[in-house]
Structure 1
Amino acid sequence: MAAALESMVVDEKQLPEKPVNREKTCPLLLRVFCNTGRHHNIMDYSRGNVPSNELQIYTWMDATLHARNKGTYFDFSLVTPELRNSGYRMREIGVTCSGQKGADDNKTLAQARFTIGDYLDISITPPNRVQPAIRRTGIRQY
């Protein structure tokens, strides 16, 4: 007798996050590394090193990926320590394009599972350049 297999697709709804009380909550130091048109190589983060173009930002966990300059693409990835070895791993957390609404625009650091000590690697593609690997997010150019 064969058992019936059933599956269900569930649209996961997240509860709205409470806004951070910026009067009472201390900001965290977010170490950001930007590159034009591509992400840094993961080896740039090996052996205690980081890329030389570091930008240090004090922010809170409810900061979003919302982008600015119209037509510019921002491809965000977290660089996190690899627990099994002494290296790092890079994980894409979202893509935004200023002037276009997108699914990742309001994603927060907390929703991306950012933890203090992680790095944020951003590939910035200006409007006059070829778009980053946006096609995986469903935006198509015709």
Structure 2
Amino acid sequence: MSIQHYLDVGQLPHFDPDLADNPPAIVVALRERIGRVDGILISCPEYARGIPGSFKNALDWLVASHEFPGKPVALFNASPRASHAQAALRLVLDTMSANLVESASITVNLLAKEMGEAEIAVDPQIRRQIVSALEAFKGWIDEKSRVPEKQPVDV
């Protein structure tokens, strides 16, 4: 499994529906990237009880795309208190026809723990929870990507 971190969320221009059919190059690149991946893992913070504007803006650019609908999506939440953003995010993703994989969506309590990447990776409980969710996500994607065998037809 390879996980790629998308770093250009803050660089995307403000969504303009008039440009949806002929978007700026950075939006084309985002859509192409979404089209190449097998699934999308989202870890989105909560600000003022909602989805941060820059992240919602990125989703808005994907609404009119043909790459996003039906994509498997797993949600990783870093705070049990961030329930409002998660609820809003689920509503937006449902509207966008995402395929939300519940078995791969988790909440890990990192609130006020001030743990770095290395500490998170070696913490036995957190590691187990993350690995389990990633395995569920991969399993779901693998299962859905299998081409069903054709059944013989009696004539």
TM-score by length of 2: 0.25
Between structures 1 and 2, the one with greater strand share: 1
TM-score (normalised: structure 1): 0.27
Report which structure shows greater RCO (CA 8 Å, sep ≥6): 1
